Amino acid sequence: MYRLIIIIVLALVWLVADSNHLLECGLRSALLYPFFHANLFHLLANSLAVYSIFSPKRTDNLRALLIGYAISVIVYPFSFRPLIGISNMLYAIIGMRTPPFSSQWWHTSPVRVFLCVTTAMVFIPQIAALTHVISFAVGIAVAHLLRYIKSHSHERR
């Protein structure tokens, strides 16, 4: 149900906001850019990603959303031009949900396709690929840090 609410909110923001006007200054841009989209296709693509990433069965959705948002704000300065859309936040969340590098998950076909598409984005000038890659990498680092903290907190008990 909350996925539908997120999609509806994104659609309403897209319909009523002049995103070019709202995203003209630095800090405000860094804080607001995930909530606007360039066009209906962009909104629908990101909404599909939201729908597939967030499962009602997961208990960490809110934490992932907040940390992903923080990462998307942090990576904003790494773009060479203004950013718009929620995809950096989604890349960060995908990174936070990755298993350790020793996992066979990294060798599965869907993961290889995802990594190849992400790499190919570097060659499409309309996409801010650097911020996507950095968001994903920071998400992976957060996942490893959280696993490290969790494993060491269990050792102390």
pLDDT one digit per residue (tens) for the chain, 157 residues: 566 676 666 666 555 555 555 445 577 778 888 888 778 888 888 888 888 888 778 888 888 999 999 999 999 988 887 788 889 999 999 999 999 999 999 999 999 999 999 999 888 877 888 999 999 999 999 999 999 998 888 666 6
Helical H runs in 17-128?
19-22, 26-32, 40-53, 61-75, 87-96, 109-120
Model pLDDT, residue 22: 47
Q: What is the pTM of this model?
A: 0.78
Residue 139: its pLDDT value, please? 97
Nearest in space to 146 (alpha carbons), one of 106, 98, 103, 88: 98
- 138 phi/psi in degrees, rounded to 5: -65, -40
In degrees and rounded to multiples of 5, residue 54 shows phi and psi of -95, 115
Integer CA distances (angstroms), 32 to 2, 27, 122, 125, in order: 20, 9, 24, 22
